[in-house]
Amino acid sequence: MSADIFENLINLNPERVRHRRIKVFGLMIVSTLIATGKWLSSIPTDSFWLTKVLMTILFILTFAWIALFFWSSIFGFFELMAKRKVPGINWLPKDAPLTTKTAILMPVYNESSVNVFANLLAMADSLHTTEQGKYFDMFVLSDTTNPKVWVEEERVWLEAKQKMPKEINLYYRRRAKNTARKSGNIEDFCTKWGAYYDYMIVLDADSLLEGSTMVKMVQLMQANPKTGIIQAPPMCLNGHSLFARIQQFAGKVYGPIVSAGLAYWQVGDSNYWGHNAIIRVKAFMECCGLPVLKGKAPFGGMILSHDFVEAALIRRGGWAAWLLPELKGSYEECPPTMIDFAIRDRRWCQGNMQHLKILISKGLHPVSRVHFTIGVMSYLSSPLWLAFLVVGTAIVLGRGIFPPVYFEEVRTLFPVWPIFDKLGTITLFALSMFMLIFPKFLGLIVYLRDNKNKKKIGGAWSAFKSVIAEIGMSVLTAPIMMMFQSKFVFDIFAGNSVSWNTQNRDDTGTSFSEAVARHLSHTILGIVSTIVIWFYAHSIFWWMLPITVGLMLSIPISMFTSRVTNGEWFKKHKFFLIPEETDAPKILREAKAHLKKLESHVPALQGVALLVDNNVLNALHISMLQVNGPAPDFTREVSQNAEIKLENYLTYGKEMDLSKEEELSLLYNPKLLLQANIGKFLKD
């Protein structure tokens, strides 16, 4: 951390920060060295030297990753138990007045319009209760490409605007070209409107932030002029499928000690997670012009995981970045199924692999390089674990097929016994499991302490058995996710890029055909591995069983955890309960109430048909085309087909059945839309 930032921080000095980082990373290094020493003494002495080297490297990389998570969680636990705030940041009283203007940004891409605007209305109502709502404006920044969703966004925006508290403005803008995806969307806002605002709160389409939390974030920015980013850790909420409920329970119980542990050693050099954070507009505009990486995708092109990069650039520019676990009232939703989780992970994986290029950029703060390394390792750890398991199994198979040679060619009085420390190997395995599982129980201790009213969480026994059940489910799903992520990494290094798709937020569940398509290779691998190990490496059969069982049962596990009915069954039997389920936050209740009202007004017609039928929406759409940017080019064939179908609809009442391109060509043709609306009006 540079000296210019320290001058503006309270109760913080470089030595204190250095000591924190030495403790966390020192303990990680020491524990890894001790475990590695034990590992070296456990490897069979007759193993080929290259095998020893490979296994040792894989062991160091995988164990160091576990050790960092473990020690970071330990320090996070003690910080939470002591109820200490992150040092170095100045807090203002709750009623301190705001003196600046903040933009709340909701970037969307083919999302459910009623869900998006219901959340914004709930946040606006929550801001209104703080009596400081006039210092906030809301923006829906659309990158939507689906023409029917585009028209629906305009319709619901108009309805939501009429329901907003009078002191809060709600703006809507759609880009014609989705340059650089979300990061380009935010950059476009800053270029056109950034000068009007001191700060911007960046959301995701499923974000919910309490009004008091947003006010507090602005107060912190005002009180800490060298701060560029403040991240409020989001908590998963509103999950209904079993998979989503397990994820939100894990986030509620374990998330706080993870966040507190990260904040403990990051202090003012923290990261940014892309949403539910406040950013100083000046810092963003000065520092965050993202480069286009050289070469083709997946490693080149537009940066996908832009949030890490923006945090590093802001930090390089001399601004502080904070992760503050003290900020509550920050919510998001979990992917409803394992497959949806994996699809999102695929995009994140490619973005994090791109960071290999950025990692060596000039001028970055050392902690920013650590963030990039952690991000890369969060995905590389899966193929590393897979390689470790494959090599280890191959060694055991080799010893079964090619027995050790006890008497060498040179005659000796005594046989050469290969030494293998079985107890040492078991000890290392037990230690690794302890370091992965023990922090979960520390999280449970904090969870029980913070929830005095145990009825809200189903009681202490309910929380305990839920942790045990979550650990069991994690054991089964971990090998499946390992295979998913390993494939992602292999695909990326093979040059296969990922497309930008809308995240699924529906609770429809995973069908049998989809589960087979996604998990058949996992199932076959699990069955084959089990058979081979049983017959040729029986000594490790029971040790490998948790991995092979998870793979063999991947299809039913994926389907079972995707079902809302199963989530409800576990909820009924008090598994995975969180207090926000039994006593929902007011903002969530209001979001659901607004959603119900908005859904009750959804018209039967969509897209162009709705604009032709509705005078108000027709005029609104045409007037907003002026701020959408230049229309894309359409071929003559597309434009002519669209006009013919529109004419047949008006004259004969035939269904238009427009292609995406044809409907877009009509939506960008204000003259034709106006004529069609007038013609429909005169005909009626």
Here the tokens at position 140 are: 């829906």
Segment 185-241, tens digit of pLDDT: 999 999 999 999 999 999 999 999 999 999 999 999 999 999 999 999 999 999 999
Per-residue DSSP letter, 269: B
pLDDT for 395 equals 79
pTM of the complete model: 0.93
pLDDT score of 172 more than 80 = yes
**Helices and strands, number each (H, E), in the chain:** 25, 10
Of residues 458, 486, 441, the one with CA closest to residue 570: 458
413 — pLDDT class (breaks 50, 70, 90):
very low
- Per-residue CA distances from 430 to 419, 437, 438, 663 (Å): 21, 10, 11, 61
Give me the sheet containing 102-108, strands edge to edge. Answer: 169-174, 136-142, 102-108, 199-202, 277-280, 227-231, 320-323
Segment 242-280, tens digit of pLDDT: 999 999 999 999 999 999 999 999 999 999 999 999 999
Residues 229 and 272: beta-carbon distance below 8 Å = yes
Give the separation between CA 165 and CA 462, rounded to whole angstroms. Answer: 41
Strands 136-142 and 102-108: what pairing? parallel
Backbone angles phi, psi at 438, to 5 degrees: -55, -40
Segment 125-135, tens digit of pLDDT: 999 999 999 99
415 — pLDDT class (breaks 50, 70, 90):
very low
414 — pLDDT class (breaks 50, 70, 90):
very low
Mean of the per-residue pLDDT values for the chain?
91
pLDDT score of 321 more than 60 = yes
Give the separation between CA 680 and CA 684, rounded to whole angstroms. Answer: 6
684 — pLDDT class (breaks 50, 70, 90):
low
Give me the sheet containing 208-209, strands edge to edge. Answer: 208-209, 330-332, 235-236
Length of the chain: 684
Q: What is the mean pLDDT of residues 386-392?
A: 89
With a pLDDT cut of 70, the percent of the chain lying above it is 93
Residues 6+ apart with CB under 8 A from 463: 253, 444, 447, 448, 457, 577
Q: Tokens 């932030």 appear where? A: 209
Of residues 34, 39, 35, 37, the one with CA closest to residue 421: 39
For 2, other C-beta atoms within 10 Å of its C-beta total 16
Of residues 270, 246, 268, the one with CA closest to residue 258: 270
Query: What DSSP assignment string belongs to 86-101?
Result: PTB-----TTPPP-S-
pLDDT score of 407 more than 50 = no
Give the separation between CA 552 and CA 535, rounded to whole angstroms. Answer: 17
Give the separation between CA 353 and CA 351, rounded to whole angstroms. Answer: 5
Segment 44-80, tens digit of pLDDT: 766 677 878 988 999 999 999 999 999 999 999 999 9
Give the separation between CA 577 and CA 534, rounded to whole angstroms. Answer: 39
**SS3 of residue 571 by DSSP:** helix
Provide the residue type at 359 as one letter.
L
Residues 44 and 418: beta-carbon distance below 8 Å = yes
Q: What is the mean pLDDT of residues 6-17?
A: 67
pLDDT for 497 equals 83
For 117, other C-beta atoms within 10 Å of its C-beta total 31
Give the separation between CA 555 and CA 512, rounded to whole angstroms. Answer: 8
pLDDT score of 416 more than 50 = no
pLDDT score of 2 more than 60 = no
9 — pLDDT class (breaks 50, 70, 90):
low
Here the tokens at position 626 are: 């002026």
Backbone angles phi, psi at 227, to 5 degrees: -90, 130
Residues 20 and 267: beta-carbon distance below 8 Å = yes
